[in-house]
Amino acid sequence: MSDNSTYDERVEAVYTAIEEALDALDSDLDYETGGGVLNVTFENGTSMVFSRQPPVQQLWLATRSGGYHFEFDETAGDWRNTRDGTLFRPFVVLEMQTQGGVEFRWL
């Protein structure tokens, strides 16, 4: 496990990247952050919720298809799903498309 400041920096970087990519979309979706949570609400009324989990140094994602836990993988330079090993960034792109019909791209 990394120290808390490294964990916080990594989560903050992910949230910032998501927010910047969402701002670049030509879509009326909404997002808000607060209390360690980033909530994205799509035009179809569904939402994706990203949340910090400092005690276990994980990043959690709740989507219409389920709940997912990610731990940072130093080698991959990305967060990895603790259940099936899926990397966070491609997973988020797929979920945004599947759930919200959004062509999300990391900037």
Spell out the per-residue pLDDT of the chain, length 107, in tens: 568 899 999 999 999 999 999 999 888 899 999 999 999 999 999 999 999 999 999 999 999 999 999 999 999 999 999 999 999 999 999 999 999 999 999 86
The model's pTM: 0.93
Give 4-100's CATH code, choosing from 3.90.850.10, 3.40.50.1820, 3.30.920.10, 3.40.50.970.
3.30.920.10
Q: What is the 3-state secondary structure (H, E, C) of 61-94?
A: EEECCEEEEEEEECCCCEEEECCCCCEHHHHHHH
Q: How far is CA 41 from CA 51, 62, 73, 84, 105, in A?
A: 14, 12, 28, 26, 17
